[in-house]
Amino acid sequence: MSGGKGGSKSTVSEIPSWIEQPATRNLARAEQAQQLGYQPYYGIDVAGFNPTQVQAMQNQIGAAQAFGMAPQGMQAMQGMPQTQTIGGVTGYTSSPLYEQAVAAAQAADPNTAQIYGSLFGQDTGYTPKV
Amino acid sequence: MEQASLAQQGALAGTAGAGTILGSDIQAYQNPYTQQVIDASTADIMRGAQMGLNALDTQASRAGAFGGSRHGVAMSELGRGVTEQIGQQSAALRQQGFMNAQQMAQQDIQNRMSQAAQLGALGQQSFGYGQAIQQGLSQQGAQQQAIQQALIDAAKAQYQGYTGQPAATLGYVSSALGATPTPQSQTTSRQPGLFDYLTLAATAYGK
């Protein structure tokens, strides 16, 4: 409030330092965390067919072949993507499809991709309190 | 499944190839001893005829008419009767033989069709066994796959926790502040204005 004929009155709220300092550090940490981009999952997404299922499917194909309803040489897993085995678990990962989708989107709209990329990856210099 | 298919094919072939009476070799079903039976029957008739002739001759001799016209007529009648009897007997035996052969051929056709039907039933049963085993294998495999999928889902959840941890920890300070009573101090200051000074002067002057 400015001065003047009637004078002025001001009120200031003071925050204790033991609150202000952690809040300030939290804000700095938030800014650093904000720079973390999307971290895709590169592991297995869907469990694959196990040997028992493959055998069952192959038996079914054999039955169809016996009645002349499937060509000879047809395999149960033909046309299916390659599986991965990690930690004894066999399955399919969607990461190749995801990467292809991201690459296609970046190729289709490089400007948006550049803006997207600029949002992340900058080190703000955040130093945690030891 | 291969056996089931072969059984079905055999059943179809058997049904189609069971045959017909028209196409059957009836001769194969004929009694090979038919002619012997006819011959034996004819021989019996001839023996009877001979005995009849002998009696006729004796009778004619006694009557002194042996070799006469009546003797001749009687012998002719006897001969005609014998010939007729032999013919009828032979025809009857051959007719019976044919009917029997035809009946056996029909029975053979029915047997073949029955066998084909049985083979088809066995094939169907075999196919059913195969399908039941298939179902069991599929269910067993599905159970194993479900466990693997549960492991994958757990791993993905862990990864989501890993990537979300930085953002999650930001709320700790806010939560702590929200739970802690926060004292606030207020400082009020006043800046006197012209009227304040005039009032002060007037008050001091009035005293």
Query: Given CB atoms, is B151 within the 8 Å cutoff of chain A?
Result: yes
Question: What does the pLDDT look like over B119-143, one tens digit per residue?
Answer: 999 999 988 998 898 899 899 999 9
**Distance (Å) of CA B78 to CA B71, B90, B91:** 11, 18, 20
pLDDT band, very low/low/confident/very high, at A105 (cuts 50, 70, 90):
very high
Using a CB-CB cut-off of 8 Å, the residues of chain A touching B138 are 53, 56
Q: Is the pLDDT of residue A28 over 80?
A: yes
Using a CB-CB cut-off of 8 Å, the residues of chain B touching A60 are 134
- Chain A residues 1-40 with CB within 8 Å of chain B: 1, 3-16, 19, 22-23, 25-26, 29-30, 33, 36, 39
Identify any residues that bridge with B189 across adjacent strands, giving them in sequence order: A10
pTM of the model: 0.63
**Averaged pLDDT, A13-29:** 83
> Measured between CB atoms, which of A7, A52, A66 is closest to B190?
A7
Average pLDDT in chain A: 87
Amino acid at A95: S
Tell me if A45 sits within 8 A of B157, measured CB to CB: no
**Averaged pLDDT, A49-68:** 91
d(Cα B74, Cα B58) in Å, to the nearest integer? 12
Who wins on pLDDT, B47 or B192?
A: B47
**Cβ within 8 Å, pair A44-B155:** yes
pLDDT band, very low/low/confident/very high, at A1 (cuts 50, 70, 90):
very low
Determine the pLDDT at residue B100. 92
According to DSSP, residue A83 is labeled P
**Distance (Å) of CA B151 to CA A52, A117, B156:** 18, 33, 9
Question: What does the pLDDT look like over B19-77, one tens digit per residue?
Answer: 888 888 888 888 888 899 999 999 999 999 999 999 999 999 999 988 899 999 999 99
Tokens of A73: 């040489």
**What ipTM is given for this predicted complex?**
0.75
> Measured between CB atoms, which of B5, B134, B173 is closest to A26?
B173
Identify any residues that bridge with B186 across adjacent strands, giving them in sequence order: A13
Using a CB-CB cut-off of 8 Å, the residues of chain A touching B167 are 33
**Distance (Å) of CA B191 to CA A12, A104, B67, B115:** 14, 66, 187, 120
Closest residue, chain A, to B151 (C-alpha) = A89
First to last CA, chain B: 125
Question: What does the pLDDT look like over B77-104, one tens digit per residue?
Answer: 999 999 999 999 999 999 999 999 999 9
Closest residue, chain B, to A52 (C-alpha) = B141
Query: Given CB atoms, is A49 within the 8 Å cutoff of chain B?
Result: yes
Q: Which of B20, B6, B11 is closest to B114 using CA atoms?
A: B11
pLDDT band, very low/low/confident/very high, at A3 (cuts 50, 70, 90):
very low
Determine the pLDDT at residue B191. 78
Q: Is the pLDDT of residue A6 over 70?
A: no
Query: Given CB atoms, is B157 within the 8 Å cutoff of chain A?
Result: no
